[in-house]
Amino acid sequence: MRLSKFFLPVLKETPSEAKIISHQLMLRAGMVRQGAAGIYSWLPLGHRVLRKIEQIVREEQNRAGAVEMLMPTIQSADLWRESGRYEAYGKEMLRITDRHDREMLFGPTNEELITEIVRSGVRSYKDLPKMLYHIQWKFRDEIRPRFGVMRGREFLMKDTYSFDLTPDEARKSYYKMFAAYLRTFARMGLRSVPMRAETGPIGGDLSHEFIVLADTGESEVFCHKGLVDMAVPSANTDFDGDLVGIFNERTSLYAATDEMHDETEFNKVPEANRLSARGIEVGHIFYFGTKYSEAMKCSVNGPDGKPSFIEMGSYGVGVSRLVGAIIEAYHDENGCKWPVPVAPFHVGLINLKTGDAETERVCTELYQKLEAQGVEVLYDDTSARAGEKFATMDLIGLPYQIVIGPRGLKNGVIEVKNRNDGAKDELPPDAAFAYVTDAIKKALELA
Ligand SMILES: Nc1ncnc2c1ncn2[C@@H]1O[C@H](COP(=O)(O)OP(=O)(O)O)[C@@H](O)[C@H]1O
Ligand SMILES: [Mg+2]
């Protein structure tokens, strides 16, 4: 992509309404623009990151055996009356009346709608288990939207729903999502810790929030340090096999958010291993048994011919929140530092002297060669000053910068900068091409 064709409205000043670094950088780097409180447009740069995160989430859901679909944003109030949540949900639900005076709502979540779909499409226990998901915009009329996309009113969520015949089977579905989430966040460069969360009236131990540690996180969390560095399930994980080991290994160590925190239990962790910190909730998984299936009469006939209510769970990932969470984890005073798998482009190519025939030639050739290898390049072909080009590239934080100008070319070299560690190398164009192509391919392979 040539910068001259792209749309990158960067800001020089930090908008005063932005209180945390990710919000500041997303506005300054021209990633999002607020339309109304807690409602954002995703500008081209931010949109590219959002889609990459979404794609990683999708790949890991598919790997775990969940099946993608798409439900609408607008739902009928009647379904929510069946579950009893239409009244219970309160002011967070955006209620809409259509021209026929029918009550509608902008979906804050989808348990009711998916339960309705499954009850009409599943008859026998042989149709189970099923895991279905979609990635769709939600609306929750949060009383205090803040921190940009971290706590928005309109936000993109991946939500999966599991359907099983028995509680034991439901537990297996829960383990699949548990393992899939660890992989999902790790592929974005995030270390996530599953922490016990409120289970509500059903009780039990099957509700976990996946927390990324960050000073600006909204939740106060307490855990055993060992959880932070624990290895993530590999790409070869057999999701049809027994995953209880992955679950037990983590849940045997203390980890809880403030709502579930138990000081006495926490103090049993050796002091050197106690970690109390702040964190960002990037995912939340939940087993709730027959709460919705009973209320909405969603049942299957078992092997004995008798009907039984389906055991359900739901599993959310905050796709748009993750954009902010990743910036919180990867930035410096000059801007973002994207991990390769979620970077809006892999390489920023800077032409230091537009109009200079030799510089133009080397830039264009390298640009085309990299793109042909699947390396995504943002080519700054504009006539802006060098200092401004450098500042913009650092701000938007592409993993590699390649700087080409007449002075270097006289000696046959161009500069490659690694945005992550700041290391710079002067290399002949061919060597620079090989180095960058290799580095990008390796970083993407780790998946
Ligand atoms: N207002 C919001 N803005 C952005 N992301 C959100 C918001 N609310 C929830 N999410 C994301 O969606 C995931 C699933 O939501 P859920 O657990 O149902 O929400 P909550 O914890 O707010 O009750 C959360 O883990 C979080 O990552
Ligand atoms: Mg939650």
Domain match, 358 and 326 both: no
Please check the confidence at residue 201 and state whether its pLDDT lies above 90: no
Label residue 4 by pLDDT band (50, 70, 90): very high
Domain match, 328 and 435 both: no
In this predicted structure, what is the pLDDT of residue 404?
Answer: 98
**Mean pLDDT within 77-98:** 95
Which residue CA neighbors atom 14 of ligand 1 most closely? 316
CATH number of the domain within which 422 lies: 3.40.50.800
Distance 355 CA to ligand 2 centre (A): 54
Which residue CA neighbors atom 9 of ligand 1 most closely? 318
Domain match, 356 and 273 both: no
Domain boundary among 271, 299, 332: 332
Domain boundary among 273, 299, 332: 332
In the chain, the percentage of residues whose pLDDT exceeds 70 is 98
**Mean pLDDT within 70-83:** 97
In a domain, 100, yes or no: yes
Domain match, 412 and 271 both: no
Please check the confidence at residue 259 and state whether its pLDDT lies above 70: yes
Distance CA 198, CA 175 (A): 18
Distance CA 15, CA 19 (A): 9
In a domain, 8, yes or no: no
Domain that holds residue 306: 21-332
Q: Which of 321, 322, 323 to mutate to test the pocket of ligand 1 (most atoms within 8 A of CB)?
A: 321
In this predicted structure, what is the pLDDT of residue 204?
Answer: 67
In a domain, 284, yes or no: yes
Query: Whose structure tokens read 């499954």?
Result: 118
In this predicted structure, what is the pLDDT of residue 202?
Answer: 60
Phi, psi angles (nearest 5°) of residue 94: -85, 110
Q: What is the mean pLDDT of the chain?
A: 96
For residues 63-77, one letter each, b for 16 or more C-beta atoms within 10 angstroms of the residue's C-beta and e for the rest, the string is: bbbbeeeeeeeebbb
Ligand nearest to the CA of residue 157, numbered in listed order? 1
**Mean pLDDT within 336-346:** 98
The number of distinct structural domains making up the chain is 2
In a domain, 413, yes or no: yes
Domain match, 176 and 86 both: yes
Q: What is the pLDDT of residues 142-195, one digit of tens each?
A: 999 999 999 999 999 999 999 999 999 999 999 999 999 999 999 999 999 999
Domain match, 318 and 406 both: no
Distance 108 CA to ligand 1 centre (A): 10
Q: What is the pLDDT of residues 348-385, one digit of tens each?
A: 999 999 999 999 999 999 999 999 999 999 999 999 99
Q: What is the pTM of this model?
A: 0.97
Residues with CB under 6 A from ligand 1: 109, 140, 142, 151-152, 155, 157, 281-284, 316, 318, 320-321
Distance CA 345, CA 393 (A): 11
In a domain, 399, yes or no: yes
Label residue 216 by pLDDT band (50, 70, 90): confident
Atom of ligand 1 nearest to the CA of 151: 3
In this predicted structure, what is the pLDDT of residue 198?
Answer: 85
Distance 421 CA to ligand 2 centre (A): 34
In the chain, the percentage of residues whose pLDDT exceeds 90 is 96
CATH number of the domain within which 259 lies: 3.30.930.10
Domain match, 388 and 295 both: no
Domain match, 216 and 291 both: yes
In this predicted structure, what is the pLDDT of residue 447?
Answer: 61
Domain boundary among 279, 297, 332: 332
Distance 210 CA to ligand 2 centre (A): 9
Distance 318 CA to ligand 1 centre (A): 6
**Mean pLDDT within 423-447:** 94
Ligand nearest to the CA of residue 280, numbered in listed order? 1
